Amino acid sequence: MRQLNPLVWAAGLIVVVLFGSDTSECAESTTEVARMAREVLDPIENPVKFHFEKIADIPLKEFGVVAQSPANGGRLLFCQTESEDVFLWDVENRKKLWTLLRKDMPENVRSIAISPDGAHAAIGYNAGKVAVLDGKTGEVLITHQLRDLAVITVGFTYDGSQVFGADMEGFSFITPLLQRTTKIDPGIDTKIIKHVLMAATSNNRWWKVLNMRDRPEIHQFSSEGPLDESDSPIRAGYTFGWMKSGPNYIMLLDAASKYWIRRVETGPNGETFKTMPLEQRGGIAMAFDRSGETFWRMDRESLEVYDTKTDERVANATWMEVIYPGTVCYLFPDEERMLVTCKGDNASLWQLTGDRMGIIEGTKSRVNELIAEERFDVIEEIARRWNGQIDHFRYSSHETPTSYLIDELVTYEEVDLPKEERNSRYLDWIASHAEDCQFMRLVMFHVYYRTAYLHRGNGPASTVTEKGAVKYEDYMKRAWEVLEPIFDQEDVPAEAYTCAIMAGKNFQWEPAVIESYLRASAAKWPKYHRTYSEEAVARLPRWGGEPGDTARFASKMAENVGGDEGDILYAQIFRYVSRYTSVTEILKDPACDHERFLRGMFLLGQQKSNHNALNLGIFASNVLNDAAMARKFADKFLELDVKPSSEIWPRKFELIDKAIADARKAKFEAMAK
């Protein structure tokens, strides 16, 4: 047996020891990368859906409750019974905290209220008195005298510091809790008033709604008296049935289930007033959070959370219980709770749990943190796990998880970080991690590709300036140079073939070269629609293709996949093609498979409630005069609460209107049964 030289053996031992240490550190690093990648992926792959959970039942029916007022995030409920007793109910502990019997009160009870924090309660009586009670004990602290008519509305300011009341003729008062009222604001002749509502903010500003027999009147007051109604008064053709105040606004719900918000905004020119009718939202309850940054809207099927600045929906939760006529919902956004009551029946308190932020917002936040920390190793790991996946987060027709991640890096911005420096960081990673930089190469391809088109513009070649053409060619060359090394590796990611097709179109490669990339992609990533969508667009007549080329290519790719998945791929391809030509023109093509188009759009529309595909499908049904498919799409519209897209079908169509009307009628009939 050959003997090793002692010096060689010793040197080898040192290498083994050092290598072993590096291996251990490498293993720890790999574990950390995997852990950090999972922190991004877990909420996406296993989302904790924003949903309702019942936390308490309230036996209102047992006590004969006819009116109630909640406080403290639904934890307290001030109730009036049929016998006109009042009591305060501890919702979570299911017990009465105190009771005030009718025989111990001076007059019949006409209205009740409790302050937002539950510290005080108020009772409006039949002959003009308003009593303020201690919320802890039920002790009467002070009694105000309005006039000698029934007080039909009582309440507290948003901060709970003042109490107010209004009688059946609209005469009202507002005063600090324990300070006797000295001023009564006028109302109007009772013969033409149907109902009175009142609400007040925390800055000694209040509103009254006098629901007349033929119209509502809204009066605005301050501590100095009535304000000029010319300050953008609310006008509506319906009476109002509900009114609520916040720190700087009032909300009203009219008889047509339309919300109005009147906001007081303080600026350099003092206070201004903004009236906003939320005509598209309707529903049975609505509330702002304390910050005013979001508002909640509840209808009979779901809760939606909106950003007040962007007016975009940021979260929603499906309501699984049946909400009957007469049901009243109280929303508590800051506690993420809802109290549901039904006249003559019991009530229940519900808690919202789960990921309120949502998949898109959560992913964006986590990915941006990784970019800022230059953890491109973790981003590469996420990209490896997402490689080839075709599900999407949003309704974009040309998006996959990989392209979503690419877009986050391409559009990433940081204060005091020029794009050139950001790109240098990306390139430095590529240079120092030659064996682990596939995704960052894809990112830089897209950075250069988009930059090339910034210089070229999107117009025809005749509109490109000489300087723009030079820059365009330079950046396109850089894009291919950073991408090409990927194809020398054994495992080529799906998105790389998409990039190759994009490059080939711009470099005007020979068809045989393009075909070689398409064959390789179809063999390994047959359902990755981005690659085939790019090629389908390149085959349109406007880019030199023959009529029917795009449709025949889409059919070929769909048949390569087969079944429902093939039909979905066909729809995905044409969703993207519809960006460059109309749906009507697509369907006019004799090579277009109409049945597969509609079937694919319907199947695609059911994936994560894809509203864009369902809108395209119902519009295509109209173009093809296919009433049966239009009805199928209409049923799905109602099931998934899909909103019509004015970009896809900007005007009304009789066939679509009938399909949706028939679907709505069938839904209501089913609910009635």
Concatenate the DSSP letters of all residues of 290-359 into one string: TTSSEEEEE-SSEEEEEETTT--EEEEEE--S---TTEEEEEETTTTEEEEEETTS-EEEEEEES-SS-H
- For residue 259, what are its two tokens? 């919300």
**Mean of pLDDT values over 315-336:** 74
Rg (CA), the chain: 33
Q: How confident is the model at residue 42 (pLDDT cuts 50, 70, 90)?
A: confident
Lowest-confidence segment of 502-516, 573-587, 606-620 by average pLDDT: 606-620
Residue 187: the pLDDT is 75
Long-range contacts of 544-548 (CB under 8 A, 24+ apart): 547/589, 547/591, 548/589, 548/590, 548/591
**Site of tokens 């943190």:** 369
Q: What is the mean pLDDT of the chain?
A: 82
User: What is the C-alpha separation between 36 and 585, in angstroms, rounded?
Assistant: 47
CA distance 216 to 234: 9
Please state which of the ranges 489-498, 636-645, 657-666 shows the lowest mean pLDDT: 636-645
Measured in degrees and rounded to the nearest 5, phi and psi for residue 650 equal -70, -10
- Residue 147: CB atoms within 10 A of its CB come to 15
pLDDT(318) > 90: no
Q: Answer with the residue of higher pLDDT: 474 or 331.
A: 474
**Displacement of CA 428 from its chain's centroid (Å):** 37
Give residue 100's pLDDT.
94
What is the DSSP code (8-state) at residue 414?
B
More confident residue, 30 or 516: 516
pLDDT tens figures, 83-107: 999 999 999 899 999 999 999 998 8
Q: What is the number of other CB atoms lying within 10 angstroms of the CB of residue 410? A: 21
pLDDT grade for 271, boundaries at 50, 70 and 90 = low
How large is the average pLDDT for residues 247-266?
64
Can you tell me the mean pLDDT for 9-22? Answer: 40
Cβ-based neighbours of 417, under 8 Å, separated by 6 or more = none
Please report the pLDDT score of residue 268 as a whole number: 58
Percent of the chain's residues with pLDDT above 70: 77
Res 607: pLDDT: 74
Share of the chain above pLDDT 90, in %: 44
Give the pair of three-digit tokens for residue 181.
């009222």
Q: Quick one: DSSP state of residue 460? A: -
The answer, yes or no, to whether residue 295 has pLDDT greater than 60, is yes
Are the CB atoms for 622 and 649 separated by under 8 Å?
A: yes
The tokens for 258 are 């339309």
What confidence category does residue 472 fall into, taking pLDDT thresholds of 50, 70 and 90?
Answer: very high
Spacing of C-alpha 187 from chain mean position: 42
pLDDT-wise least confident of 159-163, 304-308, 325-329, 607-611: 607-611
The mean pLDDT of 314-326, rounded to a whole number, is: 66
Rounded CA separation 380/395 (Å): 25
Q: How far apart are CA 601 and CA 564, in angstroms?
A: 11
Would residue 601 be called left, alpha or beta, if left means φ above 0 and alpha means ψ between -120 and 50 degrees?
Answer: alpha
Identify the pLDDT of residue 192: 66
Write the pLDDT tens digit of every residue in 124-160: 999 999 999 999 999 999 999 998 899 999 999 888 8
Highest mean pLDDT among 277-286, 459-468, 541-550: 541-550
What per-residue confidence (pLDDT) applies to 333? 85
Round to whole Å and give the CA distance between 648 and 583.
9
Contacts of 579 (CB under 8 A, 6+ apart): 397, 398, 537
At 218, list the tokens: 């809204």
Q: How far apart are the first and last CA of the chain?
A: 92
pLDDT band at 2 (very low <50, low <70, confident <90, very high): very low
Residue range 161-186: average pLDDT?
A: 86
